[in-house]
Amino acid sequence: MTFEQLLQYIFSGLTSGSIYALTALGFTLIYNATGLINFAQGELVMLGGLSAVGLYQAGLPLPVAFLGSLTIVLIVTVLFQQLAIRPLLSRGVLAQVIATVGASLALRTAAMMIFGREALPLPAFSGDTPIRIFGASLNPQTLWVVGSTLLIVLALQLFYRRTLTGKAVRACAVNPLAARLMGVSYSNVVLLSFAVSGAISAAAGVMITPISFMTYSSGALLGLKGFAAAALGGLGNPVGAVVGGVALGILEGLGVGLVSSGYKDAIAFVILLLVLFLRPQGIFGGKAVEQE
């Protein structure tokens, strides 16, 4: 493999890695607030992409369609939390997880009925002319994806490290009872976590659609890979989610180059299995153990 090819695979790995990172962040936010794995996470990404397509085809400019899609998915996520998760809070995590499985099926079916079965495109945010870097060609959309991911991660870090509300969310992840005794409303923290998780997933969906299109059924694979990334980084650790996502994307990209593109999806799952067998706490698992 030439250096140019290597670079090419890394670029493509970075792009999908950013999407996995955002999806993994979505998992992490909800997991930290509730101890819950949201099996509808991938569907939120899918819904983000398809909503943007729908709004764009309805004639809205792309940036407006982007923001509109974020709003739609945020509302869907909040409704889901209020209507399906909240009544099950006293029933334990398993009942809630099953509710998320139900939500994923419902969202997928709803998307199929609204948007059809076709894979739908969005135009790239700033044109399709590839940028040449050291002989490899870089899709401008990749810059959007990577840049926006960095921006989102940075904004989240500022929120969780610098604001009292963000610190209250972290406190709830560590010790919900003690946080309530400080006057933190646990149900508001859960609601906020779902809302932010939904918006981030939607952003991931909108950004990836110009590169790989979106169909009603794309959510399952995106969700599983996001989960693999979260597990790789150490479930519950936002930094781990980002590192896990990018690592997974790059490994996948290199695997496509070195082995075969036919095994692209298998690579993610082999990594997921290896993580679960060998290091179930993930790369940055120390933090998650502290939360027990």
Decide if residue 5 touches another protein (CB under 8 A): no
Decide if residue 264 touches another protein (CB under 8 A): no
Decide if residue 183 touches another protein (CB under 8 A): yes
Query: At 119, which amino acid appears?
Result: A
Decide if residue 170 touches another protein (CB under 8 A): yes
Q: How far is the CB of 237 from another protein (least distance, A)?
A: 10
Among 4, 60, 167, 257, binds another protein (CB under 8 A): 167
Contact present, 18 and 139 (Cβ < 8 Å): no
**225, 230, 212, 190: which is closest to 85 by C-alpha?**
190
Among 57, 126, 185, 260, binds another protein (CB under 8 A): 185
Within 10 angstroms of residue 278's Cβ, the number of other Cβ atoms is: 7
Query: Which residue spans within 76-155 are E strands per DSSP?
Result: 131-133, 136-138
**210, 260, 271, 233: which is closest to 52 by C-alpha?**
210
Q: Which residues contact 92 (CB under 8 A, 6 or more apart)?
A: none
Decide if residue 175 touches another protein (CB under 8 A): yes
User: How many of the chain's residues bind another protein (CB under 8 A)?
Assistant: 19
19 or 172: CB nearest another protein: 172
Decide if residue 239 touches another protein (CB under 8 A): no
Decide if residue 174 touches another protein (CB under 8 A): yes
In angstroms, the CA 64 to CA 287 distance is: 38
145 or 179: CB nearest another protein: 179
Q: Site residues (CB under 8 A) for another protein?
A: 164, 167-168, 170-171, 174-175, 177-185, 287, 290-291
